[in-house]
Amino acid sequence: MKHANFCLALTAFLLSSSAGVALAHHDDDDDDDAARITTIVGLNNIQQIGSTQNINDLNGNAIMANPNPYKVVVVPENMHKLPRGTVLVSNIGNDGTTGTSIVKFHPFPSTGVQFNLANSALQGPSDLSFDRDRLLVANSKGGNSVQVLKSDGSLATSITNPLFNNPWGVATGFTHSSRLSTFFVGNKSDAKVLRVDVEEGSHDAAPTVKVTQIAQLTVMDGGETKIDMRWVPLLKVGGQFLFDVLVVLDPAQNRIAAIANASKLDTSTGTGTTIFQGAPLKVPGGIAINPFNGDVLVVNLNDNNLVEINPANASVVGVKAIDPLVVDAAGNNAALFGVTATADRKGNLLVFYTDDNTNSLNALSAAPLVAPK
């Protein structure tokens, strides 16, 4: 990894959230920085942004999508007709396999619109991550692929590999050059963590893809290990600074782990450095990075709580119940699978999350989100 390129990546991270969205401009330049809300502790407004089931198609006609919203991402920059700040949500389907849609929303209450075109061939889409102006979609069924979509929702390419085993989590990593990029995949069926290096072909040739296993996490009882992940260039864990870090959920161990040097690692036996383990984590299902302080945000499958962890001292910053239903022993009423964090227009922390109980995209914010005047 070249030092200059790494410094650029680090600078970009310090200015952006885990979804790659730069902190919002403030309406009032005289706002007191200390008055901003930068952790989930000060956020008390829970608001439904829109339904992921009752949406519009690309022509504006009302349709009903196969719901069960799973993962969520915020558009990092303006991409043609896809404005910066747009929120995208994947619909995995009620049986976890038959969902075929990604739904886009304004970052305020609005009617969702189907984003993906028919040729994107999604089946059971789960995690989402932007790689420059392309959207990576972990296609957990339908050929064990990662679908790469253009900003208009059409298919750019489909990436398959024998090591893919129901891809679940996906995270964009270090961008080496305009032609070479890296992303990471977590397999649901065998709990393997993979690095995928993609080099674009010349003159419309197919890209060259190399897949390397870099970790082996614990397989959940029943064999479905829903590993979510985010990449950051720098993370302080305890008193140690780690570089080129893939932050992953290890749900079978109620654990958050850091896989350092993820872009260069060539071993498949490690489980990473433990950032935090145990309560209040209860089968963590979704992960995000707080853009203000680097804290790890996690949504639990077994109690519908949002948890904020400070990785530097392995402390619990806060816990928020963001769905009121109680999860029973069989897992009924588990609602929370996707979470991402950015900033609102006032410079406060803003958390978007999916809620399977209501088939909706929701927000946890400092104040109600409204359309700009």
Lowest mean pLDDT of 4-8, 236-240, 308-312, name the range. 4-8
- Check residue 288 and give its pLDDT: 98
**Please, which pLDDT band fits residue 1 given cuts at 50, 70 and 90?**
very low
pTM beyond 0.85: the answer is yes
The DSSP letter of residue 79 is B
Q: What are the C-alpha distances in Å from 339 to residues 28, 74, 181, 183, 241?
A: 28, 10, 24, 19, 25
Mean pLDDT calculated for residue range 234-253: 96
Strands 305-310, 296-300: pairing kind: antiparallel
Q: Using the 8-state DSSP alphabet, how is residue 46 labeled?
A: E
Tokens at 235, concatenated: 């993370």
Residue 57 has pLDDT above 80, yes or no: yes
pLDDT above 90 (res 286): yes
In tens, the pLDDT along 220-234 reads 998 789 999 999 999
Rounded CA Rg of the chain: 19
Residues 68-76 have a mean pLDDT of 96
At 207 the three-state DSSP class reads coil
pLDDT tens by residue, 297-338: 999 999 999 999 999 999 999 999 999 999 998 889 999 999
**pLDDT for the residue 32:** 56
Structure confidence by residue, pLDDT tens digits, 100-151: 999 999 999 999 999 999 888 899 999 999 998 999 999 988 668 999 999 9
Sign of the alpha-carbon torsion through 163, 164, 170, 174: positive
Q: Is residue 56 over pLDDT 80?
A: yes
pLDDT digit string, tens, across residues 336-354 = 999 999 999 999 999 999 9
Tell me what pLDDT residue 4 has.
39
| Per-residue exposure over 193-214, b if at least 16 CB sit within 10 Å of its own CB, e if not | bbbbbbeeeeeeeebeeebbbb
- Whether pLDDT at 6 is above 70: no
pLDDT at 201: 73
Among 162, 239, 223, CA closest to 191: 223
Per-residue pLDDT tens for 150-180?
A: 999 999 999 999 999 999 999 998 766 666 7
pLDDT digits over 324-335, tens only?
999 998 889 999
For range 216-220, the mean pLDDT: 96
Q: Is the pLDDT of residue 92 over 80?
A: yes
pLDDT value of position 176: 65
Taking Cα atoms as reference points, which of 345, 366, 350 lies closest to residue 26?
A: 345
In angstroms, the CA 179 to CA 200 distance is: 5
How high is the mean pLDDT of the chain? 89
User: Measuring CA to CA, which residue among 339, 265, 282 is closest to residue 1?
Assistant: 265
Peptide bond into 280 cis (omega under 30): yes
